[in-house]
Every structure is written in structure tokens, then in C-alpha cells.
């Protein structure tokens, strides 16, 4: 029975990998929403940490105020930062440049020679277009 379960799990994993491989890339809108969700999640983590810090301060204050007679509480640790409020959530999406402005399609500067001449100068074997142009 254990072998049949192992084969079933292996087959399920193979089909799952095939399904993930066929998914199209996410749209720019979906990527923007994912980035905003990640920023909001990080902010929520900071808010949770702030609330935890406040709760710990309340517990420590209660403990110090309700000590039995004759006992003294340790002073608060030196160098401990006070609780900092992260403030309201604010997300500013990064500006997206078009491909032309990003310089993704060509190197900067003006071309002086044809690409086939540049390849021949670099020591590479000339291409068919370069040999046809020299005839």
C-alpha cells in the first residue's frame, strides 16, 4: 500500500509541475497589485510589532505596580528603544518607464559602423551579410 501512495504522490507532483510550467507570466496590473500587497503585509507586520510592544509595556507596568511588599522590580533595561508607531499605510508605486526610455533595445550612443563591421573588428568571423557587403 505504501508503494501505491508514493507513486500517486509522485504522479501528482509531476502533473502539478506541468501545470505551473504552462501558466502565462502575470500582467503588469497583477504585478503591481502583488507589490502593493507585499508592502501592506510588511506594514501590517510593523503595526503588529508596535501593538505587541505596547502590550508588553502594559504588562511590565502592571507587574511593577502590583509587587508584594518588600520586593523591588528590576529597572527597565537600558538602551531599549521605545515603541514606535509605524503610522498609516502609504504606498507609492514606482514609476514604470517604457522600454524605449529604459534603454532596453539598444546601447547608448550613436552607431558609427554597421553591426557586421563591428563584429569583424572585434576579431570574430564575419557573417554572411558582412562578406556579401564587401563584394
CA distance 4 to 84: 55
Give the pLDDT of residue 107.
60
- DSSP calls for 52-90: HHHHHHHHHHHHHHTPPTT--PPPPPTTPPPP----S--
Q: What is the pLDDT of residue 53?
A: 94
> Distance between CA 131 and CA 117 in Å, rounded?
10
Predicted structure pTM score: 0.52
pLDDT confidence of residue 45:
97
Contacts of 72 (CB under 8 A, 6+ apart): none
Residue-level pLDDT, tens digit, the chain, 135 residues: 577 787 878 777 777 776 667 778 889 889 999 999 999 999 999 999 999 999 999 998 898 888 888 888 887 778 888 899 999 999 888 776 665 555 555 566 666 776 666 555 555 555 555 445 555
Cα 35 from chain centre: 8
Q: Are the C-beta atoms of residues 78 and 68 closer than 8 Å to each other?
A: no
pLDDT of residue 108: 62
Amino acid at each position: 500500500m505504501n508503494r501505491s501512495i508514493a507513486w500517486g504522490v509522485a504522479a501528482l507532483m509531476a502533473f502539478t509541475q506541468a501545470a505551473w510550467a504552462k501558466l502565462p507570466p502575470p500582467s503588469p496590473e497583477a504585478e503591481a497589485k502583488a507589490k502593493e500587497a507585499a508592502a501592506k503585509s510588511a506594514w501590517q507586520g510593523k503595526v503588529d510589532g508596535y501593538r505587541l510592544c505596547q502590550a508588553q509595556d502594559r504588562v511590565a507596568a502592571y507587574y511593577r505596580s502590583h509587587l508584594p511588599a518588600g520586593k523591588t522590580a528590576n529597572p527597565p533595561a537600558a538602551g531599549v528603544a521605545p515603541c514606535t508607531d509605524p503610522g498609516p499605510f502609504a504606498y507609492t508605486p514606482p514609476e514604470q518607464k517604457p522600454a524605449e526610455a529604459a534603454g532596453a533595445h539598444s546601447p547608448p550612443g550613436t552607431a558609427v559602423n554597421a553591426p557586421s563591421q563591428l563584429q569583424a573588428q572585434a576579431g570574430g568571423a564575419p557573417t554572411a551579410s558582412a562578406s556579401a557587403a564587401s563584394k
